[in-house]
Structure 1
Amino acid sequence: MENLRQLLASYKTTLVLLLIYAFLMALATFVEEVMTTEAAKMIIYYSPVFFFIQFLLVVNFVLIFIDHRYAKRGRWALTVIHAALVVILAGALTTHLFGKEGTIHLREGETSNLMVMHTSKGVFKEELPFKLELVRFSLIRYPGSSSPSSYESDLRIHIDGEVREARVFMNNVLDLDGYRFFQASYDEDEQGTVLSVNKDVAGRNITYAGYFLLITGFLLMFVTPNSRLRKLNRQLNELRRTAMLTAIFTMLTIGTSAQDKGTSAVMQALQRNAVPTEHAAQFGKLPVQFGGRIMPMNTFSSDLLRKVHKQNRIGDLDSDQFLLGLLTMPQIWMQVPLIANSNEELARMLGLPEGDLAYAQLFDPEGNYKLLAHVNEAYHKPESQRNELDKDIIKLDEKVNILFLLLNHKLMAIFPNENETGHDWYAPGDDLLPFTDNDSLFVSTIFSSYLSEVRRSLENGDWQQPQALLDSIAGFQRKGDRSELINPKKIEAEIRYNSQHFFDKARNGYLLLGFLLLVVAFLRLFREVTWTRVLFKLLGLGVVLLFLYHGYGMAMRGYISGYAPWSNSYETMVYVAWATLLAGLVFGRRNDLTLATATLFGGIILFVSSLSWMEPQITTLVPVLKSPWLMFHVAVTVAAYGFFGISLLLGLTNMLMMCMVRKRKQQLLIRELTIINNMSLLVGLALMTVGTFLGAIWANESWGRYWSWDPKETWALITVVCYTVVTHTHLVKRLKNDWFFNLASVLAFASVLMTFWGVNYLLSGLHSYGENEGVAETFGYLYAALAGIIALATISFRGYRKMNSKVEENKTI
């Protein structure tokens, strides 16, 4: 019995249980993908084995707390954090045993009190102690778009002989006698609503108490003198007092190659006769409704050119010059190879040259669309059965359709109708019958007149008349904008944002400064002289200024969009780069190499964000993201990725140095960087854990349940568990060495990649709104990186053993 107690109170048991826990959760996400959500719950999440593992973790926490006398030793941060985890698990158990969850379906004018519950034992119905009547369901869309902005259910509640009015919509919950009602779905005819119902007062309160304790514990980790983080800080200071440490690094070179595609004679002629940049810029200021929001024409043209051509410019022309040229000289532009196509098989199948395609090339001499049969075949296949060729056919068809709509003036909604209560604007090629009298005459002729004047001005060089017509269109927009959708300050800010290219400049600056910082750190390794120290500080100041510029760009994007600028993959990558620099600046004061690698890594992240499969356009938010919790949850969670990224770089750097370092001062440098790595992991773990549970609170306010085992939230928890294991390896004697810790900090980053990218492309779930096409292509690089890490780990282990053996020899001597 005593042996069993020792086993249950062992730190080894802690790590083993956590790894089993993470493995079962990871397995469950793939079971859910192959089978169903209910199958994953029955087989794993709600299985006796899974509950038993959680029970053993609680027992393990309690016994370790008793045996190691955390409270008596003043280890308050550890005490509160582990107590919080026990309370959270107790809350989850309470929810599972006593919580109720179901749905209620209502049609307009219908009254009901029946809640339908789907469980592993079947479908059950339960009567609520009150009745709900659906007065009206409203699906509100973004202006000029089919994208939903909000789902709203106006209800009449019959309770205790009274009648109350209430409205339920996403992120706006109805609380009633312990029951909570959330907007879940709606009928296709938009005449009915589906509300999710949840009753879990005890479980929710216990769990929220656990979250509060957890945040308190992490705050104590930063302030109490006996916390692990403060202890590592003291070790670092002590290490610095023993020797003068300098940095070693591996020279990283990033080669870029540019392919000159050449410019055809047609393209050269178009560039010589292009609309002047001054007038194109004036055209770019014109407000246009697209994608559910009002934006300047400059943004509209940039987004379309990037979508069709995969570049921000075509030849020497900017996006505004391209769009005006396409509209004024359509027959010539149809001959220009501007449609990006990277699928050689598709080009051969259509009998077309490889590379970019011209619009005219996709039609035969009789005007038949060459892609038509292939597009129909691709769309008739289930999405899961489409191969790469099918997907590329669909993408090419989308680009052709965009050009078709542009050529027919059907995509640029520039005319608001002051006589309509709706918010939709009209394009010049739309049916303009809703306009009456003088307005009808104006909208039907003004745009074609403007294009005619542009063509005339290209010949005579006088641009006064086109500018006057532009001013007339702008005046009509102001007069017809009864809904006040045009915000001149935001339009101006967006044009300024587009022209600045904040993140491209930050990317180039980070890569240059990061490389120079590494060079200077290398020079200081061999000889510490005043000028190298001064140069490093000046470069560091440049990083700080660039970091502020990067943050200003994010703030401007947030002002333009009206929401926190980290709601999709592109914005999140930009924020991860910013968070990585923040982590580098925090720990860069401790070690030069930390700042250098963080700066370089920030540039690499921004480089990835600028790749063609990323979509940098500002979009509207799906209803669930229209919540203040977006700012807190995503900001805290993604900030953790920055600190984990620093740990990844430090882990790789240390293993590289272990392959070749033999001198004592270089061994001390490895030890210093390992301590900084550990501190970075602890900060990242605190942010990731808090961010994950803030996400649980958001989920409870949006979907009526704080934890639903959605793949995204499950992998976030797996990431927390993985980094918990890494930060606890020092408690096991055989694992307490710098080589294993650094290797573990590198391997743990795989859980971050799976959470951030992999879930969107390998799994499905509630968090699919942030995905992009094309990321799957990067998995080959990840496999290659894994092979490289395995090779590096093998070589560095041998170097680490030799390094330690020399230390032992020196001690013997």
Structure 2
Amino acid sequence: MEKLIRFLSSYKASIVLLLIYAIGLATATFIEKWMGAQAAKMLVYYSPLFLFLQFLLVMNFILILFSRNFIQRKKWAMVVIHCALVVILLGALTTFLFGKEGQVHIREGEKTDQMVMHTSKGVKTEILPFVLELKDFRLIRYPGSQSPSSYESDLLVHVDGEVREEKVFMNNVLDVKGYRFFQASYDQDEMGTILSVNRDVAGRTVTYAGYLMLVAGFILIFFMPDSRFRKLQQRLKEVRKGALVTIFVLTAVYSYSQEMPDGLIDDAVQHNRIPTEHAARFGKLPVQFRGRTMPMNTFSSEILRKVHKEQTFGDLNSDQFLLGILAMPQMWMQVPFIVLSDKEVSRRYNLPEEYVPYYHLFDQQGNYRLLPQLQEIYHKPADKRMFSEKELVKLDERVSILYQLLNHTLFGIYPDPKDPSHTWYAPGDDLSAFSETDSLFIIRSFEQYLEEVRQALGNGDWSKADQALDVIASYQLANDKASLIHPKKLEAEFRYNKMDLFNRVKTGYFICGGLLLVIALMQLLREKRWKSYVAMALTVGIMLLFLCHMFGMGMRWYISGYAPWSNSYETMVYVSWATVLAGFIFGRKSTLTRALATLFGGVILFVAALNWMDPQINTLVPVLKSPWLMFHVAVIVAAYGFFGISFLLGITNLSIMAFTKDSPRLSSRIQELSIINNMSLLVGVVLMTTGTFLGAVWANESWGRYWGWDPKETWALITVVVYSMVTHLHLVKKWNNLWLFNLLSVFAFASVLMTFLGVNYFLSGMHSYGQADGVSSVFLYIGIAFAVLGILGIISYMKSEKGDRETGRLERKS
């Protein structure tokens, strides 16, 4: 028993228990995919063994507090953090034992006092100490679309002899006698509401108290004089005093080039190209699409990316491309621009490889050649379709887009002033909602405009085409009764599209970061003042790029009206920004750190620009229309930037160990970079943990539960646990060496990649709104990269005399 207590009060036990905990959590997420959420909860999350594991963690935290004399030694940061973790786990236990979750279903005009609860023992019904009556349910959609913007329930609450009028909608909670009601769903006929119910006053209070204690502990980490972060700062100063600022690093910067296949743009297309000046006027025309009012330029950019997978068609921009198709459909039907990436589909239908013209997809009788097989495919479940079948479905989607374009039914440019849903109509739509005069005007004005475009292509006079476009724009302004046209925002969005800031910043990051890296390598040979001046100039350039990066994010925020990190593309842009910011924070006196952070920021922007990322500004699903989105995502994604810095520094140190001879200079550099690595990890862990618990608060305010073991939130917790293990390695004597620390700081980044991308691709859950499609090839490259890093780890281990050589300690024992 004494040995068990001694082990439980050790840091080795902490790391071992956390490792088992992380493995258990990861296993549960895959059990959920294969067997369902209920099976994952029964086999792992709520199993006696898993609860016992959490009990052991609590005991470990408490025993360490006393065995290490943290209170007597006044290690207040550690005391508060360990106590906070205990309180959070106790809060979770309180919720598990005493909390209640259920649903209330009410139809309009009806009353109920029953809450239905689904438990492991079956369905239970609980009588509420009050009565709910549904006066009205409303599903509010984005203008001109079927996408829900919000759903709201007007309730009468009969309680204690009184009747209260209340409203419940997403992120707006109703509290009655300890019960909390959240808008969860609704009936298909939109005459009834489904409210989720939660009663967990004690558990929520204890857990929130734990969250506040944890934040307080994190603050103490950075400001207490004897905290580990402050000690690392002091060690860094000591190391730098006795070292030359020289370093050797093996790195590769990959660039890519895209070539348009030859022969795509024939003489006819070039001869009939729309002048850029008029195309720009066309690009500024407001259009309604997917619930948003946007400039035509945004719409045309999305269409071009969907059907051609590029941002330009040869030297034609998206507005020239779209207007060309609308004005000269017969010509464009013969141009091969529809992307086709599967050779099997090409062979089966005798189609050109890579790009297909529209007319090739129809036979001489006008029948759609793909239809017979598509009918078979659509009868199969999506997960049972083969790769070629999925590619055929994607081809069909592109054809459908062009079909709607050619029939003038895809884009809404004519607002109906009498429509309560503020729908805008396309010229080819059913216009029966309009008066006969207006419907004739709509059809004739658009056809007149296209005719003037064709005439102008022949005679070069674009004044009449400009006038015809102005007529349409005047009609829009006169009939926009909902005030959906915001000229300043539309102009800002048009400029945002044309500036293409993130792609320009990406190129700048590669150039400046690469040159700064070269300067760092040159400083290895000899210190020269001019090299310092060049490094300073490059740093100023990086700072200007960083400000442009931030300006682009600000423009996107202004245009959309919400914080620009709600989907995969926006999050990648934000991670890149956070990575460069982390480089500035930890690279003030380390040129290498700054260079690596800048290059990595460019790599992340490069990934964001790949075809499977959607840069389109979209409407938010109702649950994301919450202020908690801004705080939760901003904090948790910022952590990725600091983890990315540690990832690069770990690779750098392993490379030095593997490919250079041992020397005092290089040993000093390894220690310096390892200390920066450690400090970056500490900041990342603080941000990741804080962001995860902010997400829990958001979940509690939106769904009535602060933790539901959704795969996304579970993997966020796994990431916290993984990096907590890495930052505690120095506390175990046998594991306190720089090779192991740097190796694990590299491989820990796999948990970040799994949390950010892998969950959406391999698993499922409530966070599917942020997923990115078509990333299978990316995971192949990630696997190859980590295999190479594994080889690097082996070489560096062997070079370090089979791991026995220690280039230094992360921290001196106190």
TM-score between both structures, scaled by the size of structure 1: 0.98
Residue 707 of structure 2 aligns with which residue?
A: 707
Any residues of structure 2 matched to 1:487-566 within 5 Å, and which? 487-566=486-565
Q: Contact between 1:418 and 1:480, CA under 8 Å: does it hold in 2? A: yes
User: For residues 124-153 of structure 1, what are the alpha-carbon distances to aligned partners after superposition, in whole Å with 9 as ceiling and x for unaligned?
Assistant: 100000111111211111111111111111
- Are the aligned partners of 1:245 and 1:666 in contact in 2 as well (CA < 8 Å)? no
Verify: 1:236 aligned to 2:236, yes or no: yes
Contact 2:738-2:806 at 8 Å conserved across structures: no
Shift of 1:643: 0.3
Aligned to 1:3: 3
**Structure 1: distance between partners of 2:39 and 2:497:** 48
Q: Which residue of 1 aligns with 2:811?
A: none
Question: Residues 251 and 518 of structure 1 are in contact (CA less than 8 Å); yes or no, is this contact kept in structure 2?
Answer: no
Kindly tell me: are residues 805 and 151 of structure 1, through their superposed partners in 2, closer, same or farther at Cα, counting changes over 3 Å? closer
**Residue equivalent to 2:468:** 469
Answer whether contact 1:414 1:427 (CA < 8 A) is retained: yes
Report if the CA contact (8 A) 1:699-1:706 is conserved: yes
1: CA distance, partners of 2:419 / 2:426: 15
SS of the equivalent of 1:528 reads: coil
| Matched position secondary structure for 1:405 | helix
Pairwise mapping of residues 573-612 of structure 1 onto structure 2 (< 5 A)? 573-612=572-611
Asked whether the equivalents of residues 185 and 194 of structure 2 are also in contact (C-alpha less than 8 Å), the reply is yes
CA distance in 1, matches of 2:533, 2:248: 19
1:191 and 2:191 matched:
yes
Question: What is the correspondence of 1:272-287 to structure 2 with a 5 Å cutoff?
Answer: 272-287=271-286
CA distances 1:564-619 after superposition (whole Å, capped 9, x unpaired): 00000000001000000010111111311101111111111111111111111110
The equivalent of 1:101 in structure 2 is: 101
* 1:47 and 2:50 aligned: no
Q: Is the 8 A contact 1:246 1:521 kept in 2?
A: yes
Measure how far apart 1:802 and its partner are. Answer: 7.6
CA distance in 2, matches of 1:30, 1:764: 9
Letter in 1 for 2:690: V
Query: Which residues in structure 2 correspond to 1:631-780 (within 5 Å)?
Result: 631-661=630-660, 662-780=662-780
How many Å separate the matches in 2 of 1:55 and 1:14? 12
Contact 1:28-1:45 at 8 Å conserved across structures: yes
Hey, what's the Cα distance between the residues in 2 that align with 1:639 and 1:292?
Answer: 30
1:805 Cα offset (Å): 5.3
Deviation string 1:499-544 (CA, Å, 9 cap, x unpaired) is 1001000110011111101100000011000110100011011111
Q: How does 1:243-392 map onto structure 2 within 5 Å?
A: 243-264=243-264, 267-392=266-391
Contact 2:141–2:421 under 8 Å retained in 1:
no
Give the superposed CA RMSD: 1.3
Deviation at residue 9 of structure 1 after TM alignment: 0.3
Match of 1:811 in 2: none
Q: Which amino acid aligns with 1:412?
A: F
Relative to structure 1, the CA distance from residue 568 to residue 805 in structure 2 (aligned partners, 3 Å threshold; closer, same or farther) is closer
Inter-partner Cα distance in structure 1 for 2:445 and 2:807: 84
**Residue number in structure 2 paired with 1:436:** 435
- 1:806, CA displacement in angstroms? 10
Instruction: Report how far residue 386 of structure 1 moved.
Output: 1.6
> Partner of 2:118 in structure 1?
118
Query: Percentage identity across aligned positions?
Result: 60
Change (3 A) 1:336 1:181: same
Change (3 A) 1:488 1:202: same
Q: Are the equivalent residues in 1 in contact too, given 2:182–2:196 (CA < 8 A)? A: yes
Q: One-letter code of the match for 1:41?
A: K
Shift of 1:257: 3.5
| Amino acid corresponding to residue 62 of structure 1 in structure 2 | I
5+ unaligned residues in a row in structure 1: which ranges?
809-813
* Residue 411 (structure 1) aligns with: 410
Deviations 1:725-780 (A, max 9, x none): 00001111110000000001011111101100111011111100011211122121
For this pair of structures, how many residues does the alignment match? 807
Is the alpha carbon distance of 1:240 and 1:598 closer, same or farther for their aligned partners in structure 2, counting shifts above 3 Å? same
Q: Is the 8 A contact 1:644 1:680 kept in 2?
A: yes
The residue that corresponds to 1:797 in the other structure is 797
- Partner Cα separation in structure 1 for residue 399 and residue 704 of structure 2: 43
Match of 1:401 in 2: 400
Alignment of 1:142-221 (within 5 A): 142-221=142-221
1:337 aligned counterpart, secondary structure: coil
* Counterpart code for 1:677: N
| Structure 2 equivalent of residue 72 of structure 1 | 72
Deviation at 1:422, TM superposition (A): 2.4
- Specify the code of the residue in structure 2 equivalent to 1:188: Q
Give the Å deviation of 1:305: 0.5
On the 8 A contact 1:252/1:515 being kept in 2, the answer is no
Counterpart amino acid of residue 119 in structure 1: T
Residues 805 and 209 (structure 1 numbering): CA distance in 2 closer, same or farther, change over 3 Å? closer
Q: Is the 8 A contact 1:432 1:444 kept in 2?
A: no
CA contact (8 A) 2:726 2:741 kept: yes
Question: Is the contact made by 1:271 and 1:316 (CA closer than 8 Å) also made in structure 2?
Answer: no
Give secondary structure in 2 for the equivalent of 1:50: helix
> TM-score of the superposition, structure 2-length normalised?
0.98
Q: Which residue of the partner structure matches residue 449 of structure 1? A: 448
* Separation in 2, partners of 1:54, 1:457: 75
Report deviation, 1:77.
1.2
Paired AA for residue 737 in structure 1 = N
Note the C-alpha offset of 1:200: 0.3
Alignment partner of 1:22: what SS?
helix
The answer to whether the 8 Å contact 1:655/1:739 transfers is yes
Seen in structure 2, the aligned counterparts of structure 1 residues 16 and 466 have a Cα distance that, compared at 3 Å, is same
- Whether the 8 Å CA contact 2:737–2:807 is kept in 1: the answer is no
Contact 1:22–1:721 (CA under 8 A) maintained in structure 2: yes
- Paired position in structure 1 for 2:812: none
AA aligned opposite 1:306: R
In structure 2, distance between residues paired with 1:111 and 1:385:
44
Partner of 2:788: 788
